[in-house]
Amino acid sequence: MSDAETPPDFDPVAPNTGEEFEPVDVFPDSDDFDLRPGADSCYKCSTCDTNCPVAEVDDDFPGPKFQGPEQWRLKQSDDDHEIDDSVMDCSNCMRCDNACPSGVPLSQMHNTARGEYVSEQMDKLSVEYIRNRILANYRTSAFLASKVPRLANFAMNFGPARWVMEKTMGITSERDFPAFAKQTFRDWWADRGGQAQSRENARAARRRRGLPEDADKKVAYFHGCYSNYNTPEVGKAMVRVYEEFGYEVVAPEQKCSGTPMFANGMLDDARRHAETNVSSMSELVDEGYHAIASCTSCSMALRQEYPELFDIDGIDKVAENTFEAVEYLRIHEDLKGEVQAADVDGDLAEEFAYHAPCHSRNQGLDRQAVELFRDLDGAEVEDVGDSCSGISGTYGWKEEKYEKSMEIGEEMFEHMEHAEGETGMTECPTCAMQMEHGSGYEIRHPLELLEAALVE
């Protein structure tokens, strides 16, 4: 037989194993989301670790790479492997998602691991668990406090009570609790006339602008907990600005976005809230509404964390139709042109020190306020850098993490001190707490400046 001839029983396509091939089931069937593609994409460059603000100040924290793909691989290969308790030191700032060059779903892995740790390993009678559960379910505490806001504001910042909370619950006494509003946003919304009044205001604005009175411009406002109970002025500004552009606003039934629950591993709680939010928002999306959030952590939850963590009917539809409030107007209106033609005076004729929240960076929104207000007469907005504020929702409220949160925020505080303005600006309510705590500045939301510039 010559060298050019092929053996008659040799098949160059299928290997001759001598028996029928059966693939090995490396990862058993599971109802969980398949994170293997993300884990396989990690090539251990450690970019996530070098961008992690917690790892920068805490030498004992192993970093996002370990908490994500490495721990996931260990869990898949060893049924007895327990989640390392350091996963509770992750602040859920999600900067690692933005930093990873390979698109590894790090925060999804962290949230999944944290949820498993809390569900299966954490002592439900421990002080840490009870403290975290209270912090994660801020909406419940705020709802109760809103019934007696004056009493709640006094009691929550009464020195001896704060000392007791720190010693018994581990809630730092270094911070002042945010004040509860005398009237919640939803109470104001109802007293004002709700959707019917908004429809009337929107139609009047369309007539002024020369638009068809029946133009299909309508949005569903996800105000979140903080704008409802603590800063209703942000919610009011959002409604008035949108009505000025001819949008009819509705404020549907809603619960917490779940952001503090994700950060504390309370995924069952988060799912219950998500089911309500997705149900109400998906029905409105079917009617032609878009979901609008004034808090960047809320928009991040609806857009990214919901579809990553839950399988709820309508969840992808809601995620695809959710926008941050200023972002939506930049897309659908000539917002920059309107701002350039406007001016602002009075209380908001200020120079602002602007901080972009980590969750706004994940959505590509970190420069929008600076760029938008650059040409607004009467106000100047200066970016105070790309560092994390350090508070990361409930992270900086924990006594054992307070000093770390302040160390993370030190760069931001220094930039604020050197900025021209002495009023801060940010879209995130807890970043606003940290900015005020570290600088003493009053903090405003971009929507408040838009209202001052555009709404008569």
Domain assignment present for 20: no
Burial of residue 110, with CB atoms counted within 10 A of its CB: 0-12 exposed, 13-18 middle, 19 or more buried: buried
CA separation (Å) from 108 to 64, 78, 436?
11, 20, 30
Contacts of 203 (CB under 8 A, 6+ apart): 213, 246
- What's 66's DSSP letter? I
Domain assignment present for 134: no
Q: In whole angstroms, what is the distance from residue 223 CA to residue 259 CA?
A: 13
Residues in the chain, overall count = 456
Residues 194 and 285 in one domain: yes
Q: Do residues 103 and 23 lie in contact, with contact meaning Cβ atoms separated by under 8 Å?
A: no
Domain assignment present for 71: no
Residues 395 and 446 in one domain: yes
Q: How many CB atoms lie within 10 A of CB 330?
A: 17
Residues 216 and 302 in one domain: yes
Residues 357 and 319 in one domain: no
Residues 188 and 325 in one domain: yes
Residues 288 and 357 in one domain: no
Question: What pLDDT is stored for residue 176 in this prediction?
Answer: 94
Q: In whole angstroms, what is the distance from residue 69 CA to residue 71 CA?
A: 6
Query: pLDDT tens digit string along 219-240?
Result: 999 999 999 999 999 999 999 9
Half-sphere exposure of 157 (CA within 13 A, CB side): 11
Domain boundary (279, 308, 330) is at 330
Domain assignment present for 366: yes
Residues 303 and 366 in one domain: no
CATH number at residue 378: 3.40.50
Residues 192 and 270 in one domain: yes
- In the block, tokens 């805490």 appear at 58
Domain boundary (269, 304, 330) is at 330
Residue type, 341: A
| Tokens describing residue 288 | 């032609």
Residues 187 and 311 in one domain: yes
Burial of residue 11, with CB atoms counted within 10 A of its CB: 0-12 exposed, 13-18 middle, 19 or more buried: exposed
Domain boundary (290, 308, 330) is at 330
From first to last of its 456 residues, the chain has per-residue pLDDT tens of 444 444 445 444 444 444 443 433 333 444 455 566 667 889 899 999 999 999 999 999 999 999 888 888 887 777 778 999 999 999 999 999 999 999 999 999 999 999 999 999 999 999 999 999 999 999 999 999 999 999 999 999 999 999 999 999 999 999 999 999 999 999 999 999 999 999 999 999 999 999 999 999 999 999 999 999 999 999 999 999 999 999 999 999 999 999 999 999 999 999 999 999 999 999 999 999 999 999 999 999 999 999 999 999 999 999 999 999 999 999 999 999 999 999 998 888 889 999 999 999 999 999 999 999 999 999 999 999 999 999 999 999 999 999 999 999 999 999 999 999 899 999 999 999 999 999 999 999 999 999 999 998
Residues 189 and 246 in one domain: yes
Angle at 45 between CA 308 and CA 89, to 5 degrees: 55
The helix (run of H) or strand (run of E) holding residue 312 is none
- 3-state DSSP assignment of residue 249: strand
| Residues spanned by the domain of 422 | 341-452
Domain assignment present for 67: no
Residues 195 and 275 in one domain: yes
Q: Domain total for the chain?
A: 2
Domain assignment present for 170: no
Query: How far is CA 146 from its chain centroid?
Result: 23
Whole-model pTM? 0.90
CA separation (Å) from 170 to 132, 140, 439?
9, 19, 24
Question: What pLDDT is stored for residue 35 in this prediction?
Answer: 64
H-helix segments, 210-321:
224-229, 232-244, 259-263, 267-286, 296-300, 306-309, 315-320
- Given strand 290-293, what is the order of strands in its sheet? 248-250, 218-222, 290-293, 322-324
Q: Do residues 293 and 222 lie in contact, with contact meaning Cβ atoms separated by under 8 Å?
A: yes
Residues 356 and 324 in one domain: no
Q: In whole angstroms, what is the distance from residue 164 CA to residue 49 CA?
A: 36
Domain assignment present for 251: yes
Question: What pLDDT is stored for residue 2 in this prediction?
Answer: 46
Q: How many CB atoms lie within 10 A of CB 334?
A: 12
DSSP string covering 117-180: HHHHTS-TTSHHHHHHHHHHTHHHHHHHHHHSHHHHHHHHT-HHHHHHHHHHH-B-SSSPPPPP
Domain assignment present for 349: yes
Question: What pLDDT is stored for residue 418 in this prediction?
Answer: 94
